[in-house]
Amino acid sequence: MVEDKKSMKMDVETECALEQEDIKSGKRSGDYILEIRGISKSFPGVHALSNVSLQLKRGEVLALVGENGAGKSTMMKILAGVYTLDAGDILIDGESVIIGSVERATNLGIALVHQELNLCDNLTVAGNVFLGREPKKGLFNKFVDTERLNNDTAEVLKKVGLSVSPSAILRELPIGTQQLVEISKALSINAKIVMFDEPTSSLSEHETEQLFKVIRDLSKQGVSCIYISHRLGEVKEVADRVVVLRDGKLSGCLEKHEINRDAMIRLMVGRDIEKMYQKNHTVSDKVRVELKDFIVPKRASYPIDLTIKGGEIVVLSGLVGAGRTELLHAIFGIDKRWGGKIFIDGSEMHINTPAEAIKAGMVLVPEDRKLNGLVVNMEIDNNIALPGLKDHLSKNGFINRDKVDELADRMVKLLDIRLYMTSQLAESLSGGNQQKVVLAKWLSMDPVFLLLDEPTRGIDVGAKAEIYKLLEDLAQTGVAILVASSEMQEVLGIADKIVVMCEGRVTGELDPLTCEEEDVIKLATESAVC
Amino acid sequence: MLENNRFLKTIKGMKRLGGITLLLIAIIIITVIIQPRFFTAYNLRNILRWTGLFGILSLGISFVLITGGIDLSMGSVLGMVGAIATYLMTIGGWPVWIVVIFIIVLSAFLGLLHGLLVTKLHMQPFVVTLCGLFVYRGMARFLMDDRTQGYGNTEFGIKFLAAGRIPSAFWPAGEVPKFFQDWSIPMPFLLLIGLGIILAIVLNKTVYGQHLKATGRNESASRFSGIHTDNVIIVAYIVCSTFAGFGGLLFSLDLNTVQPSSLGNMYEMYAIAGCVVGGVSLRGGEGQILGVIIGAAIIRVLYNAINVAGVSTQLEQVVLGLVILIGVAADEVVRMISARRKVRESMALAQKALEESRAAAANR
Three-class SS of A61-72 = EEEEECCCCCCH
- pLDDT confidence bin for A141, thresholds 50/70/90: confident
Smallest CA–CA distance from A386 into chain B, residue: B225
pLDDT in tens, B175-184: 778 888 888 8
pLDDT value at residue B195: 97
Q: Do A50 and B285 touch (CB under 8 A)?
A: no
Rounded Cα gap, residues B190 and B282, in angstroms: 27
User: Which pLDDT belongs to residue A1?
Assistant: 39
pLDDT, greater one: A514 or B131: B131
Angstroms from B224 CA to nearest CA on chain A? 6
Say if the Cβ atoms of B218 and A371 lie within 8 Å.
Answer: yes
In the predicted structure, residue A13 carries a pLDDT above the cut 50: no
A419 and chain B: CB distance < 8 Å anywhere? no
Residues of B with CB under 8 A from a CB of A: 1-2, 4-6, 8-9, 205-208, 210-211, 213-214, 217-218, 220-228, 285, 346-347, 350-351, 353-354, 357-358, 360-361, 364
What's the DSSP call for residue A169? Answer: B
Residue B258 is predicted with a pLDDT of 93
Residues of A in Cβ contact (< 8 Å) with B361: 2, 5-6
**How confident is residue A28, by pLDDT bands cut at 50, 70 and 90?**
very low
**B319 touches B299 (CB < 8 A):** no
* Structure confidence at residue A495 as a pLDDT band (50, 70, 90): very high
Q: DSSP state, A508?
A: E
**How far apart (Å, rounded) are the C-alpha atoms in residues A87 and B351?**
8
Long-range contacts of A386-391 (CB under 8 A, 24+ apart): A386/A441, A386/B210, A386/B214, A386/B222, A386/B225, A386/B227, A387/A358, A387/A363, A387/A441, A387/A442, A387/A444, A387/A445, A387/B225, A387/B226, A388/A444, A388/A445, A389/B207, A389/B210, A389/B211, A390/B207, A390/B211
CA torsion sign for B13, B19, B23, B25 is positive
Q: Is there a contact between B73 and B136 (Cβ–Cβ < 8 Å)?
A: yes
Predicted local confidence at residue A302, as pLDDT: 82
- Summarize pLDDT for B237-261 with one digit per residue, the tens: 999 999 999 999 999 999 999 999 9
Which residue in A74, A48, A83 sits closest to A461, CA to CA? A48
The strand pairing partners of A394, in sequence order, are A399
Mean of all residue pLDDT scores within chain A: 84
Task: Provide the pLDDT for residue A529.
Answer: 45
Please write the tens of the pLDDT for every residue from B88-103. Answer: 999 999 999 999 999 9
Q: What is the pLDDT of residues A287-310, one digit of tens each?
A: 999 999 998 887 666 889 999 999
Fold for the domain defined by B2-310: ABC transporter involved in vitamin B12 uptake, BtuC (1.10.3470)
Radius of gyration of chain B (CA): 24
Comparing A151-155, A265-269, B32-36, B62-66, the range with the smallest average pLDDT is: A265-269
- Look at B210 and A334 and tell me if their CB atoms are within 8 Å: no
pLDDT over threshold 90, residue B10:
no
Are the beta carbons of A324 and A486 closer than 8 angstroms? no
Q: Chain A residues with CB inside 8 Å of B228's CB?
A: 353, 355
* pLDDT per position as a tens digit, B41-60: 999 999 999 999 999 999 99
Kind and range of the H or E element at A74?
Answer: helix A72-79
Residues of B in contact with A5 (CB under 8 A): 361
Q: How far is A86 from chain B (nearest CA, A)?
A: 7
Query: What span, in angstroms and rounded, lies between the C-alpha atoms of A123 and A193?
Result: 26
**Does residue A276 carry a pLDDT above 80?**
no
Residue B45, pLDDT score: 92
Q: Which of A54-68, A218-232, A444-458, B95-109 has the highest mean pLDDT?
A: B95-109
Interface size A-B, in CB pairs within 8 Å, comes to 111
Q: List, in order of start, the domains of chain A with CATH numbers.
A: 2-271 (3.40.50.300), 272-361+447-530 (3.40.50.300), 369-446 (no CATH)
Closest to A363 (Cα-Cα) out of A381, A386, A382: A386
Q: What pLDDT, on a 0 to 100 scale, did the predictor assign at position A330?
A: 93
Q: What is the mean pLDDT of residues B308-318?
A: 85
| pLDDT at position B75 | 97
Q: Could you tell me the residue ranges of all domains in chain B?
A: 2-310, 315-364
Stretch B105-134: mean pLDDT: 97
Using an 8 Å Cβ cutoff, are B146 and B259 in contact?
A: no
Of B214, B360, B361, the CB nearest to A386: B214
Alpha-carbon distance B197 to nearest alpha carbon in chain A (angstroms) = 15
Over range A24-46, report the average pLDDT: 71
CA dihedral angle for residue B204, residue B205, residue B207, residue B208, rounded to 10 degrees: -50
- Give the residues across from A399 on adjacent strands: A394
A317: closest CA among A56, A190, A132, A499? A499
**3-class state of residue A490 by DSSP:** helix
B187-238 residue pLDDT tens: 999 999 999 999 999 999 999 999 999 999 999 999 999 999 999 999 999 9
Percent of chain A with pLDDT over 90: 33
Which chain B residues contact residue A407 at CB under 8 A? Answer: none
